[in-house]
């Protein structure tokens, strides 16, 4: 089993990154968004990322247009009918994702594999909404997709072994390192990362140290590329809040519960880098 035509549903930060790395690897990509405005934003994101690569001499201008030419942008879900693998990267909301998979199940060919890029929802629950749980799995990429090397390949009890092997092969083809996880809340990375990021918010809230010193502690003491408060901002405080709620619901362990300060910041509309304010001020 090999994938040559890839569908991407949702062309936000994650979806556009996945579309970019797949097209760079020579694959044909159909990227779908719900309206023209979001679609052109997604296209712009890929253009900008490739232009940066050209600027740095990593890609020629000619290669950039070849890569862009491999991506077809559409608002019609029916255009994904010929895809071998469709990766959903829509909003982290179970109803939205289930709705998408019900539609994909209808329009995609029976042998097509469906994958979700969810970071915390149950892959099994999403698969159960389709008629093809054997051809359904999680493929969790990391932000920024063109830079981060990891893909979590997530199997449910129903996923066919050959689908897992094909997904691992696809991840390697697009330059990533696949790791295999069972469908347990947060998979590998968020299961470990979320309590750490929440702890950083709690110690900041309790006045242990300044935000800069908390971040510098982990950057210079442990060699992390970003400190935990900066990373919360980078992922998005609303996303962190949703992930925490889902993991807390699953495990009922306090370490997964979103800290009160995080909740207040989300209520205030301070969602991190994307809105200009989070633990840091990005407006300048």
The residues annotated with a catalytic role in the active site are 119, 140, 152, 190
- Give, as ranges, the residues between 90 and 109 that touch ligand CAA (CB under 6 A): none
Task: Report which residue's Cβ sits closest to ligand CAA.
Answer: 119
Choice from 138, 146, 195, 244 touching ligand CAA (CB under 6 A): 146
DSSP-derived letter for residue 78 is G
Choice from 61, 102, 147, 192 touching ligand CAA (CB under 6 A): 147
Q: Is 167 helix (H, G, I), strand (E, B) or coil?
A: helix
- Give, as ranges, the residues between 148 and 187 that touch ligand CAA (CB under 6 A): 148
Report the phi/psi class of residue 26: left, alpha or beta, with left for phi > 0 and alpha for psi in -120 to 50: left
Q: Which of the ranges 48-56, 80-88, 209-217, 249-257 carries the binding residues for ligand CAA, by CB under 6 A?
A: 48-56
Token pair for residue 81?
């009918």
Q: Which of 120, 88, 93, 119 is nearest to 104 (CA)?
A: 88
190 scored as a contact of ligand CAA (CB under 6 A): yes
Q: Report the C-alpha gap between 260 and 54 in whole angstroms.
A: 44
144 scored as a contact of ligand CAA (CB under 6 A): yes
DSSP-derived letter for residue 71 is E
Residues in the chain: 284
Q: Report the C-alpha gap between 82 and 216 in whole angstroms.
A: 49
Q: Which of the ranges 136-144, 173-181, 253-261, 268-276 carries the binding residues for ligand CAA, by CB under 6 A?
A: 136-144
Q: Which of 232, 152, 149, 143 is nearest to 194 (CA)?
A: 232
The CB-of-129 to ligand CAA minimum distance in angstroms stands at 21
Choice from 142, 198, 204, 279 touching ligand CAA (CB under 6 A): 142
Given the rule CB under 6 A, which residues bind ligand CAA? 49, 52, 56, 119, 142-144, 146-148, 190, 225-226, 231, 235
């Amino acid at each position: 089993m090999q994938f040559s035509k890839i569908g991407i549903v949702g062309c936000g930060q994650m979806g556009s990154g996945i579309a970019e790395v797949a097209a760079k690897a020579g694959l044909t990509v159909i990227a779908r968004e719900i309206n023209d405005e979001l679609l052109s934003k997604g296209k712009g994101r890929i253009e900008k990322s490739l232009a940066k690569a050209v600027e740095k001499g990593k890609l020629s201008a000619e290669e950039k247009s070849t890569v862009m030419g491999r991506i077809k942008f559409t608002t019609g879900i029916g255009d994904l009918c010929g895809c071998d693998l469709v990766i959903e990267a829509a909003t982290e909301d179970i109803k939205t994702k289930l709705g998408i998979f019900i539609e994909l199940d209808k329009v995609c060919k029976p042998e097509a594999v469906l994958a979700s890029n969810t970071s915390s929802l149950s892959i099994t629950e999403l698969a159960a909404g389709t008629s093809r749980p054997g051809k359904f799995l999680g493929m969790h990429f990391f932000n920024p997709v063109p830079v981060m090397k990891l893909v979590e390949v997530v199997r449910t009890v129903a996923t066919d072994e050959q689908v897992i092997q094909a997904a691992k092969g696809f991840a390697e083809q697009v330059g990533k390192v696949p790791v295999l996880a069972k469908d347990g809340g947060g998979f590998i990375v968020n299961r470990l990362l979320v309590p750490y990021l929440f702890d950083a918010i709690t110690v900041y809230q309790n006045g242990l140290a300044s935000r800069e010193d908390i971040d510098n502690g982990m950057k210079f003491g442990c060699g992390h590329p970003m400190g935990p408060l900066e990373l919360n901002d980078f992922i998005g405080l609303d996303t962190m809040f949703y992930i925490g709620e889902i993991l807390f619901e699953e495990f009922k362990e306090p370490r997964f519960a979103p800290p009160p300060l995080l909740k207040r910041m989300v209520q205030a509309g301070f969602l991190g880098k994307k809105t200009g304010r989070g633990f840091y001020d990005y407006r300048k």
